[in-house]
Structure 1
C-alpha cells in the first residue's frame, strides 16, 4: 500500500513507528561507499595517521550526532517534516528559504550516491555501461520511494545488516592479509588536519539534521521523543564511525586516489560481494534522500499555495522529476568527484549550522516543544507569520560571522589564517546563532500571550 501522507501532520492513530525501526534506518543510511570515500579523506587529503584519523572522526561524529538527534526528537512531538516545523522559527515563507538549502543538500547526497554506486558496480562488472548503472539505480530508488517510508525503512535496515557484516569482514581481511609496514603510522599529526577532520565528522552528522524528523514523525507523541533521540543517535553514530574507519584504513593502505578501487584490491576474494553490496545499498539508500527531497519540494510549493495539501499523486510526480534531475546532474558531474564532494561538505556545514542552532534553541529553550501545528498550514502563518525578519536576520548574522573563520580551497578567512588554518567557523556559527536568537526570541515572544516562553 502506498504511503498516504505527504507533508501534513501524522494523526496519532497512525503513529505506528518504533525506536527499533528508526535505529535500523539510521544504521543503514551510512552503510554506503560514499561513507568509505569520506573516511579516506582523513588519511589522504588531510594525511593523518590511521589511529589519529579515526579518533578525529569519532569525536566529530559524537558531537555532531547530538545536534542531529535532538532534531529527531521533534518528530514524535509535532508529527510533521522538519522543514514544516521550521515555519515556527522563520514564518511560512521565510522557512521556504531554509527548505531550499536543505533541498540542495538532499539532492547533493542523492547525486553523490549515484556516482559512487556506479563506481562500485563498475569495479565488479567493468563491462556495464556507467550510464546504464546510474539509470538502473535511479529506477530502483524510484520504485522504493513510490511505496513510501515503510518500505524505505525495511530495505535500508536489511542492507544495514548485510553491509555491516561485510565491513567487519573487510577490516578482518585487510588486517589479516598483512598491512604494509608503516602504512598505519604514515602521515603526520597536525592540529589543523586533526580539527579539520573533526569538522568532517561533525558535518557528516549535522547534514542529516534537516530530515531526521521526516523519519521519526510516525512515532507516538507520548513516549517517542526520548526514544527517537537515542535510536537516531545510536544508529547513525555507530554506522558512521564503523564505515568511516574502513575508509581511513583503505586510504592509509591503498595506493592511488581511487578509494573504491583500493577497497576492491585490498579485500581480494571478498571484493565482488562487497562492491556489489555497496552498489545495491547506494540505490536502496538513495530512496531516503529523494523521499526527503520530495517533502521539501512539496513544502516549498505549499508555501505559495497556502492550504493546499499535496496528494499521493503530487508526491509521485515530484519524485519522478527529482530522479530525472539527479541522474542528469550525476552523469555530468562524475569527473573530479572527490574534490567537489569535499568542498560540498564544508560549505554545507557553514550553511546548516545557523539554522540548526536557531531551531534547537527555539524548540527546547524558548517554546519547550509547544507549537500550534495547525498554524503551520494557515495562509498567514497564524502566530508565526509569513516572514520572521528577526529570525532570518539572526540566520544571516550566523552565516556572516563564520566568514573570517572559514577554510575553503578558494578562500581562507583572516582569523583561520592567523591560527594556522584551523577551521572553527562551525563552532562560532553555532554559538553566535543560538545565543543571538535566544536574546531576540525572548524579547519578541515575551509580549505575545499566544506563544509560550519558557526561558
Structure 2
C-alpha cells in the first residue's frame, strides 16, 4: 500500500530528487544510483546483523586508544573505573544510534532527509548543514591521520623521507580508497564492513597483544580510584567522542532493511557492534596511560603508539592504523554525500561523494602542508558542533517516540504547499526547540585550543561545563522543550492521515 501511495503522489516530487524506477542499492562492486529518495519495500533486504558490522567497522581504528588514555591522565580514573566508563559511554551512546536508526527502517530514507518531516523543508537546512560540517571535519581528521600513518609506512619499507610530493601522494591514496568504497555505495559498503573488518580486527588484536606487554601493571593495580564526578564526566566524554558523533547517520545504513526487522535487534546490534572494539581499545588505552602519560598528550597518536611497539611491529601496526581509519572514513563519506543531496545539491549520489572527498583532500593539504597546528583548533571546532547535533538528537528522539509516520512523496516535495512545508517551510515548534537547546548547551560550553580561547559560555566553569557536558544539556533541553511545545496539529496537518500513514502506524 505504501508503494502505491508513493506512485500516486510521484507527480509532486522535485525532478532533481526523483530516481529512475529501476534504482536499487546495486550489487557488490556496482555503483548505487539511488540518492536520498525513500527505498520502496520491494527493494529492502538484509538483517539486523548488518548494523553490527557497520558500527564495528566504524570503531576499529587504533586511535580509540587515546580516548582511554585521557580517562586516566586527565580524569584521574583507575582501570576499573575506566572500563566501566568505556562500557557505559560507548555501548550506551551506540544504543542511542540504534534507536535513531529505527527511523531509517521505518521511513526508508537517510537521517537528515527524514528530518524534513520534523523541522520542515526549510527549517531542516540548519541541522543538515551542521551535520555536513561535522562529517567533513571528522573525515579531514581521519584523512590527515591516515596520511601520516602511510608516510611512516613508506619510510619504514622504502626509506623515503617525507616531502611535499610524497605527502600529496599519501593523501591521494587514502582518498582514492575512500572514494572507491563510498562511491560504489551501500551494497559494497555492507560487504566491505564484514570482511575487511574481520581482517583489520584480527590485525588490531595482534597489535593490542604487543601493547599489553608494555603495561606497567604495578602502577595500574596501585592506582587509586578517582572521584565519582570523574566517572560521570568520563561517560559523557566517551559518549560525545563515539556514538553522539554518529547519531545523525544511523538511519543512512538502516534504510535498506525490511520493516519486519525487529527494532530491538537493530538496537542491540548497533550497541554491541561498536561497543566490543571500543571497550577493548579504550580499556587498553587506559592501561597504557596508567604507566606512561605521553599517549594522552601526544599531538601525533599514531607515532606515539608506534613508539611503544617493537620495531618489527611497525609495518603491521601502520597497516592496521591505515585500515581502521579507512573503515571509519568510508562510512562518514557515504553519509556526507547523502547529506549534501539533502541540502539541495542536484547531482547523482556518486558525484556528491566525489565532491566531498575533493574538499577532504583540500583540508588534508592545508593541515599537512600549510597549518602549523592541526588537532587543537580543529577538534575544538568539532566539539562546538556537537552542541547543535545533540540538540537535533533531542528533538528527533521525542518526535520518533510519538509515532512519527513518514510520507515518502512529501519528503521529496520541496515546493511550497507540500505536506512538510508547514509555515513558510519551517515547522516552528521543532525549529524553536532546536534553537533553545543550542543556546542552552553553549551556556555550558568553552571552546579553547590550548591557551587560545574561542568561546566561553557564562556557565562554562560550573560542574557541567568543566566536565564538557554542554552537549548533554543541549540534548536534554531540546527533548524537553519539544515535548512540551510539540503537541497539537501542524498547519499542514489538519487533513486526515493518509492510508499509507495509518498502515505505517499500525505496524
Provide TM-score, normalisation by structure 2.
0.80
Q: Which residue of 2 aligns with 1:89?
A: 118
2 CA distance for matches of 1:134 and 1:108?
Answer: 15
Could you list the runs of 5+ residues in structure 2 that have no partner in the other structure?
Answer: 1-29
- State how 1:415-434 maps to structure 2 within 5 Å: 415-419=459-463, 421-434=466-479
Higher mean Cα deviation, 199-208 or 56-65? 56-65
Q: 2:134 aligns with which of 88, 94, 105?
A: 105
Q: Which residue of 1 aligns with 2:302?
A: 260
Q: Are the aligned partners of 2:197 and 2:327 in contact in 1 as well (CA < 8 Å)?
A: no
Please give the secondary structure, in 2, of the residue aligned with 1:333.
Answer: helix
Shift of 1:399: 0.9
Q: Which residue of 1 aligns with 2:88?
A: 59
2 CA distance for matches of 1:406 and 1:370?
Answer: 35
Higher mean Cα deviation, 289-298 or 279-288? 279-288
Please give the secondary structure, in 2, of the residue aligned with 1:260.
Answer: helix
Please give the secondary structure, in 1, of the residue aligned with 2:486.
Answer: helix
Shift of 1:137: 0.3
Q: Which has the larger radius of gyration?
A: 2
1 CA distance for matches of 2:236 and 2:337?
Answer: 28
2 CA distance for matches of 1:81 and 1:381?
Answer: 23
Q: Are the aligned partners of 1:76 and 1:221 in contact in 2 as well (CA < 8 Å)?
A: yes
Shift of 1:183: 5.6
Q: Which residue of 2 aligns with 1:305?
A: none
- State how 1:112-123 maps to structure 2 within 5 Å: 112-123=141-152
1 CA distance for matches of 2:199 and 2:284?
Answer: 15
Could you list the runs of 5+ residues in structure 1 that have no partner in the other structure?
Answer: 303-309
Q: Are the aligned partners of 2:118 and 2:427 in contact in 1 as well (CA < 8 Å)?
A: yes
Q: 1:281 aligns with which of 306, 318, 324?
A: 324
Shift of 1:66: 2.8
2 CA distance for matches of 1:324 and 1:388?
Answer: 34
- After superposition, the CA RMSD in angstroms is 2.7
Q: Which residue of 2 aligns with 1:448?
A: 494
Q: 1:319 aligns with which of 320, 335, 353?
A: 353
Shift of 1:300: 0.9
Higher mean Cα deviation, 38-47 or 160-169? 38-47
2 CA distance for matches of 1:265 and 1:180?
Answer: 19
Does residue 28 (structure 1) correspond to residue 57 (structure 2)? The answer is: yes
Q: Which residue of 1 aligns with 2:246?
A: 208
1:284-335 Cα deviation digits (max 9, x unpaired): 4322111111111111116xxxxxxx66xx2222222211110111222245
1 CA distance for matches of 2:91 and 2:49?
Answer: 20
Q: Are the aligned partners of 1:78 and 1:217 in contact in 2 as well (CA < 8 Å)?
A: yes
2 CA distance for matches of 1:254 and 1:158?
Answer: 35
2 CA distance for matches of 1:381 and 1:63?
Answer: 40
- State how 1:130-279 maps to structure 2 within 5 Å: 130-177=167-214, 179=216, 181-182=218-219, 189-190=226-227, 193-203=230-240, 204-254=242-292, 256=294, 257=298, 258-268=300-310, 269-279=312-322
Q: Which residue of 2 aligns with 1:382?
A: 418
Shift of 1:345: 4.7
1 CA distance for matches of 2:378 and 2:62?
Answer: 13
Q: Are the aligned partners of 1:73 and 1:226 in contact in 2 as well (CA < 8 Å)?
A: no
2 CA distance for matches of 1:299 and 1:28?
Answer: 25
1 CA distance for matches of 2:304 and 2:231?
Answer: 24
1 CA distance for matches of 2:70 and 2:436?
Answer: 31
Does residue 301 (structure 1) correspond to residue 344 (structure 2)? The answer is: yes
Structure with the higher helix share, 1 or 2? 1
Does residue 337 (structure 1) correspond to residue 374 (structure 2)? The answer is: yes
Q: Cα gap change, 1:418/1:354 in structure 2, threshold over 3 Å: closer, same or farther?
A: closer
1:216-272 Cα deviation digits (max 9, x unpaired): 101001225333222222212222222233333444445642422232232324332
Q: Are the aligned partners of 2:215 and 2:291 in contact in 1 as well (CA < 8 Å)?
A: no
Q: Are the aligned partners of 1:69 and 1:230 in contact in 2 as well (CA < 8 Å)?
A: yes
